[in-house]
Amino acid sequence: MDISKKYSHLVVEDTYVVWLKRVHRFIQFKEPAFFVFEQCMTGTDPQVIAGYCRKRYDLPAKEAARFVREIISETKKLTKAEVKVKIKKEIVNQNKVEAEDKIKAKAAEEKRKYYEHLCRIGGKTILFRYGDEVMEGVFRPLFEQFELIKVKAETKAKISGETGESIELFSRKDAWCIGINGVEVHSFPEEDWEHFHGAVYTELLNLLHGKKLEEWMGVFHAAAVVQEKKGRRDEGTLRRRDLETERLRDGEMEGLRDEEAGENQALIFLGESGAGKSTVAAILMAQGYRVLTDDFLPMGIPKNAVNNTPLIYPMPAAISVKKNAIPILLPWYPEMEEEAIFAAEEEEYETYLPLSGNAGDLSPIPAKAIFFIKYDPTVDFRLTRESNLERMNAFLKQSWIANNTAAAEAFLKWYFSLPVYSLVYSDAEKLINGLNSL
């Protein structure tokens, strides 16, 4: 049997990082455990493996036999277990609507009233259609800055018809539903709002970047910013980049130019909810950085890309600002002073900060470094280089990696090619200076 179909691995220092295909799981081995694992995957008899280990590692016969039994037992558990990796269900969940439901949905569609808003993001024009005010209130603030205002209803319909791009969000019979270009594609139970929310982002990403679900390497619960050293481009330059982005997505370019990739590289910030990812993104945006995403970071490999390097694809949406972050951001965003007054009167409060700069630029960007971030009022600023191996499990907890060999191997090479840091801060000025020094 071709064991390459069972797993892939990458050697990092003295560790073998293995991806098991059947259970879509990443694990780490050292010698001689990896040797036993490899022999086990080929179907070698345990007694034969024990003999190999006794000679290869100069082990007593009983110790070699015991060690082999333990590794084989653990390997069998891993390869037979159900998938327990925290995969983002909103990415892989394909709750397709059954034929009977589609007939009912079509009848309801004819009666449904939509709140429509036409948006232009980069070179894409998309009609957002919300089935009720609640849906509109949740999603519209994220994309409101891209709306084409003063557009008549008949004009919206005409433009949408010409571009063929629309996304419909509505509820039906205790379910949250998503339609793409007039066709219902997802239906989630009412209690499954989180996965519905993620699926909305995924479908929008596919529309913006001309991709399908299976073409993504992965999606991370992270923020990402890029420092564009060339400064803000004028409209003509931006339009040129939009055209280049389209060509890159269509496979007509060999990849990002070396000088471009070298200048524009993204910083990735991960952390638990409330760690301050969005706050850091907002602070850096005030310093001229462009925010690629503040929470939902997709990565893919462009066709014909140089060295098959995975790139970050922007997810342009307003930055979510929670109540506790408003006082921190006030020095850079004095216009939020009124929000601070409102927030003080509420137990929970959330507002949105529009993106600045070339917010609609959809150009894919390579990553420069990964930061595990934490806000700690007792620490001004501390930046520490970390071991990729030791931080890998923490990274995977915030990740969805596509369940195929190409994606798993691309992820391993990509992750271990980047520096990983832990970043603890409370002093924003020191944070800015520290990151700028990189």
The one-digit pLDDT tens for each residue of the chain (438 residues) are 345 578 999 999 999 999 999 899 999 999 999 999 999 989 999 999 999 999 999 999 999 999 999 999 988 887 775 444 333 444 444 444 454 455 445 545 555 678 999 999 988 999 999 999 999 999 999 999 999 976 666 666 666 566 668 999 999 888 999 999 989 999 999 999 989 999 999 999 999 999 988 899 999 999 999 986 644 433 333 433 444 444 434 443 333 333 444 468 999 999 887 788 999 999 999 999 999 999 999 999 877 656 678 999 999 999 999 999 999 999 999 999 988 888 888 888 999 999 998 888 999 999 999 999 999 999 999 999 999 999 999 999 999 999 999 999 999 999 999 999 999 999 999 999 999 888
- Choose the final residue of a domain: 39, 58, 80: 80
Q: How many domains does the chain have?
A: 3
Cβ 220 vs Cβ 398: under 8 Å: yes
Cβ 166 vs Cβ 127: under 8 Å: yes
Task: Locate 199 and state its tokens.
Answer: 């699926």
- Choose the final residue of a domain: 80, 98, 132: 80
- Based on the fold, state whether residues 61 and 93 are members of the same structural domain: no
The identity of residue 82, as a single letter, is E
297 in a structural domain: yes
306 in a structural domain: yes
d(C-alpha 94, C-alpha 203), whole Å: 11
Q: Say how many C-beta atoms besides its own lie within 10 A of residue 28's C-beta.
A: 16
Q: Which domain holds residue 387?
A: 213-318+354-436
- Choose the final residue of a domain: 32, 62, 80: 80
- Based on the fold, state whether residues 110 and 167 are members of the same structural domain: yes
For the entire predicted model, the pTM comes to 0.83
342 in a structural domain: no
- Based on the fold, state whether residues 283 and 402 are members of the same structural domain: yes
73 in a structural domain: yes
- Based on the fold, state whether residues 183 and 258 are members of the same structural domain: no
Pairing of strands 175-180, 166-171: antiparallel
Distant-in-sequence, close-in-space partners of 269: CB < 8 Å, separation ≥ 6: 222, 223, 224, 225, 277, 280, 281, 371, 373, 423
- Based on the fold, state whether residues 201 and 97 are members of the same structural domain: yes
